[in-house]
Amino acid sequence: MTISSVAADRAAHQIEAFLEMKAAERGAARNTLLAYRADLLDFAAHQPDPLNASETELRAYLQGLAGQGLSARTQARRLSSLRQFHLFLLREGVRADDPTSRLDAPHVHPGLPKFLSEAEVDALLNAAHTHPRAEMVVAALEILYATGLRISELLALPRHALAGDAMLLMIRGKGGRERLVPLSDAARNAAIPLLQGRGRHLFPGRDPARPLTRQAFWGMLKQVSLVAGIDPDRVSPHVLRHSFASHMLARGADLRSLQTLLGHADIATTQIYTHVLAERLQALVEAHHPLARPAVATRKGSL
């Protein structure tokens, strides 16, 4: 076995140990773990000795990502993965230093969240009744729009979550954080027919022992979007989450309450929706500020 293959094997072992730590101690979701693995294996594939890479080598690797045309967001995510991995190596005594500590992440311009109008959501819900699996699709869309759940949280709902007359859902979100989310009458009523199904999941897949997959739900959502006359590229479970948040703010909800409902650990994450607050504040000023009222022009003209 060559030196480089030995180094690669050691790196692979530490990557798996890092992922196990993230799963056991931090409750990282499966997709998060897959993203970490992909990022770290890509880095390891570009280094002769991944566990002993220098700051210079790390910097060169990140510059290479930019040269490949990867977005600033992707570059920032890779650096975040590398930082967490090297902090793990430092904690485990594999390394005596952290070569990522002085690396700067590329500036990421936060984009405005994409969301549907209230009329478009209504059209989507109406179109859901035409789907061959209407009971499941209508219930899923009603719950997503009424609660702002992530798709992973929705599909993980056990059937007993809606048992009895409880009007709150206990959701286990990212990092294992739990939160209570109120359920609207419309969402609850839409889900009642699913309580008679098989298996332990509210939204079972072809195998009743397993939940519906994301891919299967995406397929249903695209069909419904076409019937509703909405470009399927504009519709996703996360767009419905954004729509829930944007519409709640537009109708008077505050950021702190929205943070709790969405399960954000940091209110800074919730602040991506402040564009809606800005629009609402502008409308308030135009409606109530004396200099913004049409009567001002008449008063000036009479002077």
> What pLDDT, in 10s, does the model give residues 84-103?
999 999 999 999 999 999 99
Q: Which residue among 22, 78, 86, 150 is the active-site one?
A: 150
Which one is catalytic: 22, 86, 159, 241? 241
Q: What is the mean pLDDT of residues 234-261?
A: 89
Identify whether 241 is a catalytic site residue: yes
How does residue 208 score in pLDDT terms, banded at 50, 70 and 90? confident
Active site residue 109: no
Of 10, 37, 238, 280, catalytic: 238
How far is residue 92's CA from residue 94's CA, in Å, rounded to a whole number?
6
Given the residues 174, 179, 214, 280, select the one marked as catalytic: 174
Is 107 among the residues known to form the active site? no
Active site residue 150: yes
Residues of the chain within CATH 1.10.443.10 domain(s) are 118-284
Catalytic residue selected from 273, 293, 299, 300:
273
| 131 in catalytic set | no
Architecture of domain 118-284: Orthogonal Bundle (1.10)
Q: What is the CA radius of gyration of the chain?
A: 24
- pTM, whole model, 2 decimals? 0.63
Looking at the predicted structure, is the pLDDT value of residue 105 above 90?
A: no
Active-site annotation holds for 264: yes
Residue 78 contacts residue 62 (beta carbons within 8 Å): yes
In the predicted structure, residue 145 carries a pLDDT above the cut 90? yes
